[in-house]
Amino acid sequence: MKILPIFLIIIQALTFRLAVAQDYKAMDFGINGDGQALNTRSIQAAIDYITNKGGGTLRFTPGNYVTGSFYLKSNVTLHLEQGANLLGSNNPFDYHKDTVVNWQSMIYAIRQHNIGIVGKGTINGRGFQTAMNALQNVHKGIVQDELKLDRLREWNRPENIYFRECKHVVIKDITLRDPGSWNQTYDQCEDLHVEGIYVDSKSYWNNDGIDVVDCKNVVIRNCFFDAADDAICFKSHDANAVCENVLVENCTARSSASALKFGTVSRGGFRNFVVKNLVVYDTYRSAITFAAVDGGFVENILVDGVRSINTGNVIFLRIGDRWSKGKKPFMKNITIRNVYAEVPANKPDLGYSYEGPVEDMPRNISPASIIGLPDHKIENVTLENIEMVYPGGGNALYAYRGTDAKSLDGIPEMANAYPEFSQFKELPAWGLYIRHAKQINLKNVSFRIKNTDYRPTIVADDLEGGVWDFKSYLNGQVLKDSFHLHQSKEIKTN
């Protein structure tokens, strides 16, 4: 008699497993991989069926599956086999603008749990053509959009994936291509696991690689991103939410904006991040940008191991005041270590689709910078084991910023400007510029240039405290008097 309960438990366990792991073939629901049929409704019907049956996997065998917007539901995983392409419809009217997130997407999940998209297949938004078609709809007068910068606003163009308030999300092995807007957004999700994905996202404006917004417990591992806009991007849209407990590991990023970015929207905050083994190349703006410009904070961040080649700027840490609404921003306890970076003389992303926009010049090559505001200083930043190689050659006749008090004080604060390493135009240093900060430490940091630059290596303005162990070289020869301090105190140099 003892065996019965055990048997029942086994049966129960088995049925539970079956219910969860049941595999359904997409074609059995009439989902057609001919590259012509619009599958939106049959995909939705399949997902609804599977979630109602307790969950399972919807499996796409090789084929081209055209679709508009659909919703992934709890306990359902989409499995895209290698050769299976989920293709975004080119008809803008096949997309829905979800009322919770107020944004267009191909795949949504709103308040669901245990969901995933896995397999070696591809999601291709084909967003460029969709965006072009949407643009003509605006010109026809049948769709309203302000056409800022002669394109639809990013929320009126479809992303590939938009998940909001979901728990236990797995995104694994898939390839993501060419959305009409950002690529994939995870907004206020918990336990998000992104592993081994390949992202080629440079078909149109705002093509970010990945956007993680106000999420908790996130792993992004072994991923590749090639994006027209920011590659690995963390945001905080909600002033009362935080992006926290995040591990980014063994990732490669190429971007025509920034490779690793916190912001631009930064209302709540970012804390407890570990970023390990990041490779950055051919990136137009910064390898690392941390922005707290909307009242949010940045705290307890470790970046360990960065190789940044042919990238326009190495590090840009910035406190600003765009949409703070009285909230006090702060940025503190940041360690960036084991970094090798090369900054080129020419445009780093030349030839990539949707290159970063050439700004209104003139400006010589910009330094890494740590720039707070007079009332909101960036605190306790350590740069350790870092080598930055610059081209030098800054020409004072082309653009000039001196180190006299008047020149330095003349650098605008630009508190409410969009944060970008180039926003201040010419800066007075070629290696590192620090303003409005406390306790900035340099441990074994070296700066190298190949040609003479009219500027010193480091300029610090309104810096209180720091221990500096750094060296500066021109073609291998040590540069003396390589830093300039202005309104700064308690800085110990080697």
When asked if residue 142 is in the footprint of another protein (CB under 8 A), the reply is no
Shortest spacing between CB 227 and another protein, in angstroms:
15
CB nearer to another protein: pick between 137 and 444: 137
Kindly state the smallest distance separating residue 318's Cβ from another protein, in Å: 20
Task: Between 289 and 364, name the residue whose CB sits nearer to another protein.
Answer: 364
Interface with another protein includes 451 (CB under 8 A)? no
Distance, CA of 329 to CA of 326 (rounded, Å): 9
Q: Is 60 or 205 the residue whose CB approaches another protein more closely?
A: 205
361 binds another protein (CB under 8 A): yes
Phi and psi at residue 414, in whole multiples of 5°?
50, 45
The three state secondary structure string of the chain is CCHHHHHHHHHHHHHHHHHHHCEEEHHHHCCCCEEEEECHHHHHHHHHHHHHCCCEEEEECCEEEEECCEECCCCEEEEECCCEEEEECCCHHHCEEECCCCEEEEEEEECCEEEEEECCCEEECCHHHHHHHHHHHHHHCCCCCCCHHHCCCHHHCCEEEEEECCEEEEEECCEEECCCCCCEEEECCEEEEEECCEEEECCCCCCCCEEEECCEEEEEECCEEEECCCCEEEEECCCCCCEEEEEEEEEEEEECCCCEEEEEEECCEEEEEEEEEEEEEEEEEEEEEEEECCCCEEEEEEEEEEEEEEEEEEEEEEECCCCCCCCCCEEEEEEEEEEEEECCCCCCCCCCCCCCCCCCCCCCCCCEEEECECCECEEEEEEEEEEEEEEECCCCCCCCCCCCHHHHHCCCCCCCCCCCCCCCCCCCCCCEEEEEEEEEEEEEEEEEEEECCCCCCEEEEEEEEEEEEEEEEECCEECCCCEEEECCEEEEEC
Q: Which position among 397, 412, 476, 480 is part of the footprint of another protein (CB under 8 A)?
A: 397
x/- binding map, residues 161-200, to another protein, per CB under 8 A?
----------------------------------------
Residue 145 lies near another protein (rule: CB under 8 A):
no
Give the Cα separation of 250 and 245 in Å (integer): 17
Measured from the CB of residue 354, what is the shortest distance to another protein in angstroms? 7
Determine which residue in the list 1, 3, 6, 358 makes contact with another protein, applying CB under 8 A: 358
Alpha carbons 299 and 280: distance in angstroms, whole number? 23
Residue 204 near another protein by CB under 8 A: yes
Binding residue for another protein, selected from 35, 362, 374, 410, defined by CB under 8 A = 362
Q: Tell whether residue 150 is a contact of another protein (CB under 8 A).
A: yes
Q: Which of 354, 433, 447, 483 binds another protein (CB under 8 A)?
A: 354
Q: Which of these, 478, 457, 477, 476, lies nearest to 468 by C-alpha position? A: 457
Kindly state whether residue 205 participates in binding another protein, applying the rule CB under 8 A.
yes
Q: Which is nearer to another protein, 355 or 464 (CB)?
A: 355
**Position among 6, 141, 149, 481 found at the interface with another protein (CB under 8 A):** 149
Minimum CB separation from another protein for residue 400, in Å? 11
CB closer to another protein, 205 vs 470: 205
481 scored as a contact of another protein (CB under 8 A): no
Binding segment for another protein (CB under 8 A), chosen from 13-21, 130-138, 323-331, 427-435, is 130-138
Per CB under 8 A, 345 contacts another protein: no
Question: 24, 54 in Cβ contact below 8 A?
Answer: no
Q: How many residues bind to another protein according to rule CB under 8 A?
A: 23
| Residue 174 C-beta: closest distance to another protein, Å | 25
Q: Residue from 60, 128, 182, 224 that binds another protein (CB under 8 A)?
A: 128
- Could you give the dihedral angle defined by the CA atoms of residues 465, 242, 305 and 420, in that order, rounded to the nearest 10 degrees? -70
Choice from 359, 375, 404, 490 touching another protein (CB under 8 A): 359
Residue placing its CB nearer to another protein in the complex, 13 or 350:
350
Q: How far apart are CA 201 and CA 288, in angstroms?
A: 19
User: Of 12 and 136, which has the nearer Cβ to another protein?
Assistant: 136
Cβ-based nearer residue to another protein, 141 or 326? 141
Task: By CB under 8 A, tell whether 132 contacts another protein.
Answer: yes
In angstroms, what is the minimal distance from the CB of 129 to another protein?
A: 10
CB-wise, 3 or 149, nearer to another protein? 149
Q: Which of residues 94-113 bind another protein (CB under 8 A)?
A: none
Among 395, 416, 451, 494, binds another protein (CB under 8 A): 395
- Please report, as ranges, the residues that interact with another protein according to CB under 8 A: 128, 132, 135-136, 139, 147, 149-151, 204-205, 353-355, 357-362, 395, 397-398
